[in-house]
Amino acid sequence: MRLAAILTFVAVVCGLAYYVLTHPSVEKLEVLRGELAQLEEQNEHLADKNRRLEREIVALRDDPRLAERRARERVGLARPDELIFQFETPEEAPRVRVRLRVPQEGEAELAGKPVEIDGLAPALAELRQEMPHAELVVWISEDVGPLLHQQIIDVVDASPMAPARIEE
């Protein structure tokens, strides 16, 4: 009788341990702990940001030179006796389209000027130096043979003007 009670007690303890350790709430608890850690880290990051912003607010409120500099940088304010010059950077330069036309076998026109097919590569390199922001548009007539057509595409792809927009 005593052995049966001990075995029953051990079985109940093992069953409870198995239930507790394999129950879905254990996995959910781990997921929630991970989320809690992530939220605490995010909270700390936001607290740091708040501290920086508070210092900036105090500096702007107490230091008129800092407030003036911020107003100049962000809003573009100036004193009454000052002139502001704004310069356009090269990255803001407008794109210009330049057309390469090949209307028939043996004829080519680059930016409105006739060019030899054999001299196309140097002409494209020269054009890139003259017009660094130009975009090349290539139009090749259906009358041009497939070999010459491919040769022109290859020259354009290998040029400094690549990539070019091909119009058919």
Residues 70 and 134 in one domain: no
Show the domain range for 59: 13-86
Residues 79 and 118 in one domain: no
Residue 2 lies in a domain: no
Domain boundary among 34, 54, 86: 86
> Is pLDDT larger for residue 80 or for residue 45?
45
Query: CB-side exposure of 21: number of CA atoms within 13 Å?
Result: 6
pLDDT reported for residue 43: 94
Residue 5 lies in a domain: no
Q: Residue 78 — φ and ψ, nearest 5°?
A: -140, 160
Residues 77 and 145 in one domain: no
Window from 2-11, 74-83, 101-110, 132-141 with minimum mean pLDDT: 74-83
Give the neighbor-by-neighbor strand order of the sheet with 109-110: 113-114, 109-110, 96-102, 134-140, 165-167
- pTM for this predicted structure: 0.44
pLDDT reported for residue 35: 93
Residue 4 lies in a domain: no
pLDDT reported for residue 40: 95
pLDDT reported for residue 48: 94
Q: Residue 34 — φ and ψ, nearest 5°?
A: -65, -45
